[in-house]
Amino acid sequence: MLINDLVGVVGLDHCLTDPDLRAGYEVDWTGRYRGQTPAVVRPGSIEELSGVMALCHGAGQPVVVQGGNTGMVGGSVPLAGEVVVSIARLGNVQVLSDSAARAGAGATLARVQEAASSIGASFGVDTAARDSATIGGMIATNAGGMNVVRFGPMGDQLLDAGVVLADGRYLPSLQEVDPGDPTHALLPLLAGSEGILAVVAHATLQIDIDPPTTAVALIEVPPDRLVSLASDVQDLSSVYAMELFGAREVALAAAGIGRSAPLRAEWLLLVECRSESDPSAELAAVVGDLPAVVAPNPTAGDELWLFREALTEAVSRRGVPHKFDVRMPHAALSDVRSRVEGVVPGGAVYLWGHAYSNRHGEPVANLHINILGEVDDEAVFDAVEGLGGSVAAEHGVGTAKRHRVAGARSDLDQLRALKDRLDPAGILNPGVLLPPA
């Protein structure tokens, strides 16, 4: 009955019930999280999205919202028989000015970047998954990405959003909601709320005109210089990216892309600076006498980036990795690899991530620890927390970490209170983010 009604809203072609057509929506990108859904519904307009949510609300039918399905924490696949609401068709992008663009929730990051670049600008949150990751999903997880040192995470770039609530009501602008309305609290909590409060329909995003000159360097860092070098790089007014990985990861990427590793130290920093006037000299001053490969031109800079951007796919080609996306203080970085290796004796550990300062000015890194082989997840979480880290950074909590979320998020009471008001029946992404009451 509900399925027929959903077909009535989105049409037969966009309400998928055939097992073969549903299959790709029932498993996440890593292949680790797999469930089943009665239907995948793909609204093609906000009216249709509203209609779908109103019907599911009326029927008490839980839904899971899915963007590009690049999530890694089991937060957007139907693990408990939810209807999948795919936002992929809500993909329009429009540049509004030289500092703002409006994107449908289903727009891929690549489409947003393409639109921004048409006026010589870019969007400040960028990840290697740009061809698939959608703006809605990136808001849901508060993605940080490779320019987080410059622009902060998704929430810092979110100027406004239009959402559809669990009962199907459409709010075209959260900015314009009356302060007395409970939904006024939604905009500041939206980034990182993992689809439990509302379905993002579209977002207004900050974009920034690109500075004309770029310098990129890959630097070998002795473990005892890691903290001070990261701090010096962070202080550069031209810094755009500060990516951390090591010889093990470079070798993995190099094999994946068929090149030879440019450097082989235990720790490497990939730094990109951009500025109105050539930032090479200030980058060179920070590198000092450390061994480094400095890109002589933008093409060579892109080549260095390949060793970082190829990592996710390279590790997945070797198996289904256990993914731990954690936040570590800089002071713990040089110990994290050995601590994690110590608790997964049978596993191959790869780690990489983004170093930056968080909103409290604390130097941290969003580290992606990927492990192939036998892993006791709790032991890894314990090791991370034992070093003062937190078990969730920018991939979200999903279903994978909700039992440990208390140590990772300080806004749970606010989220739960707003969820109780906006979705009292709990149909939006149940089982995600919030620990059981």
Query: Closest separation between CB of residue 396 and ligand MLT, Å?
Result: 11
Q: Does 311 bind ligand MLT (CB under 6 A)?
A: yes
State the virtual CA torsion across 343, 321, 266, 327 in degrees, nearest 10: -70
With residue 159 as reference, give the H or E element that holds it. strand 158-164
Complex with ligand MLT: residue 311 or 355, whichever CB lies closer: 311
**Helices 333-343 and 377-386: angle between axes, nearest 10 degrees:** 150
Complex with ligand MLT: residue 25 or 350, whichever CB lies closer: 350
Query: Closest separation between CB of residue 325 and ligand MLT, Å?
Result: 6
Query: Closest separation between CB of residue 120 and ligand MLT, Å?
Result: 26
Compute the Cα dihedral for 129, 134, 135, 140 and give only its sign: negative
Binding-site size, ligand MLT (CB under 6 A): 7
Q: Does 202 bind ligand MLT (CB under 6 A)?
A: no
**Helices 46-59 and 2-10: angle between axes, nearest 10 degrees:** 170
Query: Closest separation between CB of residue 323 and ligand MLT, Å?
Result: 5
Complex with ligand MLT: residue 54 or 151, whichever CB lies closer: 151
* Short-list 409, 400, 343, CA closest to 374: 343
Q: State whether residue 221 is helix, strand or coil.
A: coil
Q: Does 102 bind ligand MLT (CB under 6 A)?
A: no
The distance of Cα 160 from the centroid of its chain, to the nearest Å, equals 19
Complex with ligand MLT: residue 323 or 404, whichever CB lies closer: 323
Q: Pairing relation of β-strands 40-41 and 83-86?
A: parallel
Complex with ligand MLT: residue 53 or 364, whichever CB lies closer: 364
Complex with ligand MLT: residue 164 or 328, whichever CB lies closer: 328
Single residue of 150, 323, 404, 419 touching ligand MLT by CB under 6 A: 323
Separation CA 175–CA 185 (nearest Å) = 10
Complex with ligand MLT: residue 107 or 311, whichever CB lies closer: 311
Complex with ligand MLT: residue 14 or 240, whichever CB lies closer: 240
Complex with ligand MLT: residue 183 or 312, whichever CB lies closer: 312
Separation CA 94–CA 163 (nearest Å) = 17
Using CB under 6 A as the criterion, what x/- string covers residues 115-134 for binding ligand MLT?
A: ------------xx------
Separation CA 27–CA 34 (nearest Å) = 4
What is the footprint of ligand MLT within residues 359-418 (CB under 6 A)? 368, 370
* Short-list 296, 397, 402, 307, CA closest to 350: 307
Query: Closest separation between CB of residue 312 and ligand MLT, Å?
Result: 3
Query: Closest separation between CB of residue 204 and ligand MLT, Å?
Result: 24
Query: Closest separation between CB of residue 354 and ligand MLT, Å?
Result: 7
* Short-list 134, 63, 127, CA closest to 393: 127
* Short-list 126, 127, 144, CA closest to 313: 127
Cα distances (angstroms) measured from residue 437 to each of 193, 242, 426, 433: 17, 39, 12, 12
Interacting residues with ligand MLT (CB under 6 A): 127-128, 311-312, 323, 368, 370
